[in-house]
Structure 1
């Protein structure tokens, strides 16, 4: 299993643990929980999603500087990086509103090692990695929507997952890979 997939599984596991931790500490009824839902009850999930966005930003930024991308692909990478920056900003704002400190990005050296960016030798290698990261991100966000306590946050996660699905679809198409015929691609 590559580190990108492992990173997505870690996201899901951590988010699940964070959600269970919040839920285990309370005996509130479903109605009372819904009445008190706020971003603060979901802060662990938000922080993990924020780390995922930092990774996406770094991947596109470092790939963009690699010299491996054609002008058209670089333009697309910068657009997608901009989307990830907007996601980051929205998530970081929620963490701060909940009284927390937003998780910081790792160093470039850490991202290079974790994503094995030094092994990328061509534009198709970069697109393949980005496709894997985007599919994992879409699946991770979709997987957390129902565990979130705050309906507004669930809506934000749904919107972000749609962006990630658009990124995956665009990259998949650019690579010439057919869209899977089976439904529930991101389930």
Structure 2
């Protein structure tokens, strides 16, 4: 792998895919199950936080791999690759923060899969052009924004701010990708969550 990493494969599979990795439904079940165990002020126990943070790390691993695969696909204009590499750098920063938090809680961060595993889960073979890649990336980013927003109430209060910041980053990425695809600005408020 090079520094120019932009694969568009697997945030969807980790957070909304067909179930080959961690689907949105799986994240929702984790969040829903943990919400019941959380205290009224939203702070859960350490094991719960480690589990939720590891689910978020898995999402970031998928995003990093997706942008890597996209960057090396040959389907993207150089300017789009540059944007994707920037977004990938954001995801690496998210992963690093999340891994640090898991370690501080005494847990072990979840390991990444191989790019080939992410490529298969994301059905990268079906991507034929830049628009296909951008649509995949947009779905992954929207899913990630919603996942982070969904995790906030279930995480201990020490992690609310970082999860909200990451949701903001993902929403920003989605806005840029939606614009690149020529999507209209949504008319309704409360686009995410």
Given the two structures, how large is their TM-score scaled by the length of structure 2?
Answer: 0.83
- The residue aligned with 2:136 is 129
Q: Tell me, what secondary structure is at the counterpart of 1:109?
A: helix
Q: Tell me, what secondary structure is at the counterpart of 1:146?
A: coil
- The residue aligned with 1:142 is 149
Task: State how many pairs are aligned.
Answer: 176
Larger gyration radius, structure 1 or structure 2? 1
Separation of aligned partners in 1, 2:24 and 2:40: 29
**Aligned-residue CA RMSD (Å):** 2.1
Separation of aligned partners in 2, 1:167 and 1:38: 31
Runs of 4+ in 1 over 4 A off after TM superposition: 37-41
1:1-187 correspondence to structure 2 within 5 Å: 3=13, 5-6=16-17, 7-20=23-36, 22-23=37-38, 41-149=48-156, 151-187=157-193
Contact 1:15 / 1:48 at 8 angstroms: preserved in 2?
no
Contact 1:68 / 1:121 at 8 angstroms: preserved in 2?
yes
Contact 2:59 / 2:144 at 8 angstroms: preserved in 1?
yes
Separation of aligned partners in 2, 1:18 and 1:66: 38
Measure how far apart 1:43 and its partner are.
0.9
**Cα distance 1:40–1:112, how it changes in 2: closer, same or farther (>3 A)?**
same
**Cα distance 1:48–1:103, how it changes in 2: closer, same or farther (>3 A)?**
same
Given the two structures, how large is their TM-score scaled by the length of structure 1?
Answer: 0.86
**Cα distance 1:38–1:153, how it changes in 2: closer, same or farther (>3 A)?**
farther
